Amino acid sequence: MPAVGPRGFHLGALAGEILVWIGVLLLGSYAIQVRPSTWWIIVSPLLVVVLLLFVSGMPILERTANTKYGHRADYQAYRASTSILVLLPPALYRPLPPAIKAVFLFEWPLYARADTESQPINRPSSESSPATFSA
């Protein structure tokens, strides 16, 4: 298994970001109660949450991780025991039925796509000599 799993690195960041924007949405809802003409305040928090869930956050990170590590058996085991967004211990996450994972833990097929045609990214080894630049 990777030392720091591909999901583990960004799980806290995305979950925290979404929670912050939900907090902004709740604060904005108070402003709407005080002054109904400020209904547009809720647009930005909702837009950011939608972008993180469906466009620029989780889909890109999951696709990248699936492309890089999808061929590895340890990654498949890690993926089967780790929630994509909601932080749960693997012992609690593994036995949950797929319907519960989809509804409450955001385990949607959108994030399960893997680019099976592309090969893992080959990184230069640490033994290669660093590039030299002449002035």
- Can you tell me the distance from the alpha carbon of 132 to that of 135, in angstroms, rounded to the nearest whole number? 10
For 21, 50, 106, the CA distances from 100, given in Å and listed in that order, are 24, 21, 9
> Mind listing the pLDDT tens digit for each residue in 88-134?
888 888 899 989 988 888 888 777 655 444 444 444 444 444 444 34
Helix axes 6-34, 58-69, angle to 10 degrees: 170
Residues 28-37: pLDDT tens digits?
888 777 777 7
Residue 84: closest CA among 66, 50, 46 = 66
Q: What is the pLDDT of residue 5?
A: 53
pLDDT score for 45: 86
Segment among 12-16, 21-25, 47-51, 54-58 with least mean pLDDT: 12-16
Q: Could you tell me the two tokens for 132?
A: 């030299």
Q: Are 30 and 2 a contacting pair, CB within 8 Å?
A: no
pLDDT per residue as tens digits for the range 37-95: 777 778 888 888 888 888 888 888 888 888 888 888 888 888 888 888 888 888 888 89
